[in-house]
């Protein structure tokens, strides 16, 4: 009887070791995907895109992207590695980002990931999401933002710029440093 119990214990231990070995081997196996681009449900995909438009008020903009995927049903164009250059009568600015969406019906634009906006008057804005609302001529974000200008650095949790009123608001908990110095307590 003692021998039988030892044999059963040995078989169970061997079974546990085999199952554990299989599980460890499968968890360390790297799954690979098929090479090539991921399938897309876009109606149209274009590489090296360049769009330009001039408004009746004399302002113009240019959008350049490495890739665009057009989704007609949504009225949206998904963009990769984009750069937008806007020229008004008295100023110009450039927005760059890793990806974004352009909404044709409203002329709205959302730029995401590593977003940097620079203007010809020395303003620089860094954030992870920046949106343009065409009808309101409003630039805004609801995520942390950092503004640089003439040695001043302003950090906030949101930003709203209304072009018609030339009004800029940094919202949330705001921290400002001027001439590169930390604020005094």
CA distances from 21 to 11, 14, 28, 65, 135 (A): 15, 11, 11, 49, 62
Largest CA distance in the chain: 99
Per-residue pLDDT reduced to its tens digit, 73-83: 888 889 999 99
Which structural domains are found in the chain, ordered by start?
Answer: 45-177 (2.60.450.10)
pLDDT at 168: 83
Q: What is the pTM of this model?
A: 0.70
pLDDT at 43 over 60: yes
């Amino acid at each position: 009887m003692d021998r039988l119990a030892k044999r059963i214990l040995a078989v169970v231990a061997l079974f546990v070791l085999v199952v554990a070995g299989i599980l460890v081997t499968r968890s360390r196996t790297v799954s690979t995907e098929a090479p090539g681009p991921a399938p897309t449900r876009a109606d149209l995909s274009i590489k090296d895109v360049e769009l330009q438009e001039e408004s009746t008020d004399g302002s113009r903009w240019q959008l350049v992207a490495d890739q665009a995927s057009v989704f007609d049903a949504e009225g949206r164009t998904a963009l990769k590695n984009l750069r937008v250059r806007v020229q008004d009568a008295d100023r110009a600015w450039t927005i760059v980002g890793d990806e974004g969406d352009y909404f044709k019906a409203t002329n709205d634009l959302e730029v995401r990931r590593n977003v940097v906006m620079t203007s010809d008057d020395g303003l620089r804005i860094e954030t992870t999401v920046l949106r343009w609302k065409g009808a309101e001529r409003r630039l805004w974000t609801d995520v942390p933002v950092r503004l640089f200008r003439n040695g001043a650095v302003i950090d906030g949790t949101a930003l709203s710029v209304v072009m018609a009123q030339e009004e800029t608001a940094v919202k949330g908990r705001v921290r400002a440093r001027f001439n590169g110095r930390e604020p005094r307590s």
